[in-house]
Amino acid sequence: MSTVSTITEPGQEYPAPARKNLLLDAWLVLFLAITFGTALAFVHVKLSPIVQANIRNETLSLVPVLVGSPEEFDIQELSQVTPSGESLSFFHVTDKEAKGLGWVITASSIGFADRIQLLVGLDESASQILGIRVVDQKETPGLGNLISDPEFRDQFEGAPTAKPLSIVKSAPAEDHQIRAVTGATISSVTVANAVNQAVLNLKYYLESNPS
């Protein structure tokens, strides 16, 4: 700590500069600022397209997987404002003849620790869930973070959307029931609720935009 305390109190060790020399003294700082400014501008121009592409690919690479990995497809990005004022983004996956293959919707809800973000894949008529993926979560390692595991998420595949999904703690008896991750009921319920909300949002979208 001693090093830190000496370096952060420069004013006490050295006399303040005379006022007239201020600009002359600061020429090095100005010169460095301009040099680094140029360097940063260069870095920005070079790297920001790659960064932007990374951010987009992160979502887009999952989209076809969630509608059954078709070999040829087009992705359309759509957005919609829900009655509650949230803005949602949708992906409509179509084949080359513009025939719809399914929908992928972003969904999120507050879990045990922080917000859980999901992508939900649904078929063309929003009657069946094709798959889910957890995009971002900070749940407890070893318990809540198992919601990202195939064991939990594969239960959603093929679930009908006629009834909202519910979480059970034993082996599910009906196909709208999902077995919770042991020791992480809150995280599991959060995922189910987010998926249910995503289904409602898509149905709302399909009703308000009949094709």
Partner 1 sequence: MASSSPSPAERFIAGILPENPIYRQMLGMCPTLAVTNSLKPALTMAIATTFVLLCANISISLIRPLLKPHLRILVFTLTIAAFVTIADRLLAAYLYEMSKQLGPYVPLIIVNCIIISRCEACASKQPLPHAIADAIGMGIGFTLALASLGFVRELLGMGSLFGHQVLPSSWPNWGILVLPPGAFLTLGALLGAVNAWTARRKARQLSN
Partner 2 sequence: MDTIISLFLIFIGAALINNFVLHYFVGICPFIGVSRRVDMAFGMGCAVTFVIAIAATLSWTLTFYILRPDAPLSAWLWKALGGNPGITVDLSILSYIAYIFVIASSVQFVEMYVKKFFPALHRSFGIFLPLITTNCAILFACLEIMKNLQGGDQLWGLHHALALSVGGGIGFTIAIVIMAGLREELELCDVPKALKGPGIALLVAGILAMAFMGFTGVDRGVADAIRTLTHN
Residues lying near partner 2 in the complex (CB under 8 A) are found at: 1, 4-5, 8-9, 36, 40-41, 43-44, 48, 86-87, 110, 112-114, 186
Q: Which two tokens stand for residue 83?
A: 């009655």
Binding of residue 44 to partner 1 (CB under 8 A): yes
Residue 110 binds which entry of partner 2, partner 1, none, CB below 5-8 Å type-dependent: partner 2
Q: Which of 41, 48, 125, 162 binds partner 1 (CB under 8 A)?
A: 48
Q: Which amino acid is at 65?
A: V
The DSSP result for 86-150, as a single string, is -EEEEEEEE-TT--EEEEEEEEEEE-SSSEEEEEEEE-TTS-BEEEEEEEE--PPTTTGGGGGSH
**Residue 53 Cβ vs partner 1, minimum distance, rounded to whole Å:** 9
91 close to 103: Cβ distance less than 8 angstroms: yes
Location of structure tokens 């078709």: 70
Binding residues for partner 1, rule: CB under 8 A, are: 1, 3-4, 6-8, 10-11, 13-14, 16-17, 25-26, 28-29, 32-33, 36, 39-40, 43-44, 47-48, 50-51, 54-55, 58, 140-143
